[in-house]
A and B are shown apart, each in its own frame.
Chain A
Amino acid sequence: MTGQTPTDGLASLSLSDAADLIKAGKVSTVEVLEACFKQIDKLEPVHHAFVWQDRDSALARARWLDAVRVKGETVGPLHGVPMAHKDMYYRAGRVSGCGSRIRSNEPAKITATALRRLDGAGAIDLGGVAMVEFAMGPHGFNAHLPRSRNPWGHDRVPCGSSSGSGVAVGSRMVYASLGSDTGGSIRCPAAANGIVGCLPTNGLVSRRGAMPMSWSFDCVGPLTRTVKDAARVLKAIAGQDELDDTPAAMPVPDYETGLEQPLSGLRVGIPRGYFDQDLHADVQKAIAASLEVFRQAGATLIHVDIPESFALCSDLHPLVMKAEGAANHRQWKRTRNAEYSEEVGKRLEAGYFISAVDYINALQYRVFALEEFTGAVFSHVDALLAPVLPMPTPTIEQTTYSNGPAYLKMVVAMTRNTRPINFLGLPALSVTCGFTSDGMPTSFQLIGRPFSEALLFRLGHRFQMETKIHLEMPKALGA
Chain B
Amino acid sequence: MPIKAELLKELNEQAQKVPIAPGRWPELAVELNQLRTAAEAALAVHDFDRDPGDFPSALRSRRA
Contact = CB atoms under 8 A, between A and B. Distances in A.
A364 B60 contact: no
B38 A315 contact: yes
What is the interface of chain A mostly: helix, strand, loop, or mixed? helix
Contacts of A362: 38-39, 42
Interface string B11-52: 110001111100010011001101111110111011110111
Nearest to B39: A358
A383 to B, nearest CB: 10
B50 A367 contact: yes
A203 B59 CA distance: 9
Given A246-B56, A316-B38, A450-B63, A330 B18 contact: yes
Contacts of A449: 62-64
A304 interface: no
A350 B32 contact: yes
B35 A366 contact: no
Given A330-B18, A365-B42, A352 B59 contact: no
A314 to B, nearest CB: 9
Given A365-B45, A368-B45, A203 B56 contact: yes
B62 A319 contact: no
Nearest to B53: A363
Nearest to A318: B35
B11 A364 contact: no
A199 to B, nearest CB: 13
Nearest to B3: A353
A246 B60 CA distance: 12
Contact of A370 (B28, B42, B59): B59
A459 to B, nearest CB: 14
Interface residues of A, number: 47
B46 A425 contact: no
Nearest to A317: B38
Contacts of A333: 18-19
Contacts of B56: 202-203, 246, 248
A202 B59 contact: yes
A81 to B, nearest CB: 30
Given A312-B38, A365-B42, A337 B19 contact: yes
A71 interface: no
Contacts of B58: 367, 370-371
A455 interface: yes
Contacts of A451: 59-60, 63-64
Contacts of B48: 364
Contact of B8 (A309, A353, A450): A353
Given A312-B38, A315-B41, A368-B45, A248 B60 contact: yes
Interface in A300-348: 309, 312, 315-316, 318-319, 322, 330, 333-334, 337, 346
A374 interface: yes
B41 A312 contact: yes
A60 interface: no
A367 B46 contact: no
Contacts of B32: 350, 353-354
A365 B56 CA distance: 14
A349 interface: yes
A7 interface: no
B39 A316 contact: yes
Given A248-B59, A333-B19, A349-B18, A358 B36 contact: yes
A202 B48 CA distance: 23
A361 interface: yes
Contacts of A315: 34, 37-38, 41
Contact of A201 (B37, B42, B59): B59
A334 B34 CA distance: 25
Given A354-B32, A371-B62, A455-B64, A364 B18 contact: no
B46 A364 contact: yes
Nearest to A403: B27
B28 to A, nearest CB: 6
Contacts of A425: 55, 59
B42 A316 contact: yes
Contacts of A312: 38, 41-42
A370 B35 contact: no
Interface string A171-187: 00000000000000000
A317 B32 CA distance: 13
Given A330-B18, A334-B18, A334-B19, A349 B24 contact: yes
Nearest to A332: B18
Closest 6 CB pairs of A and B: A363-B52, A315-B38, A358-B39, A365-B42, A450-B59, A352-B16
Given A316-B39, A353-B3, A449-B63, 7 more contacts: A202-B56, A334-B17, A353-B28, A363-B52, A364-B46, A366-B55, A368-B50
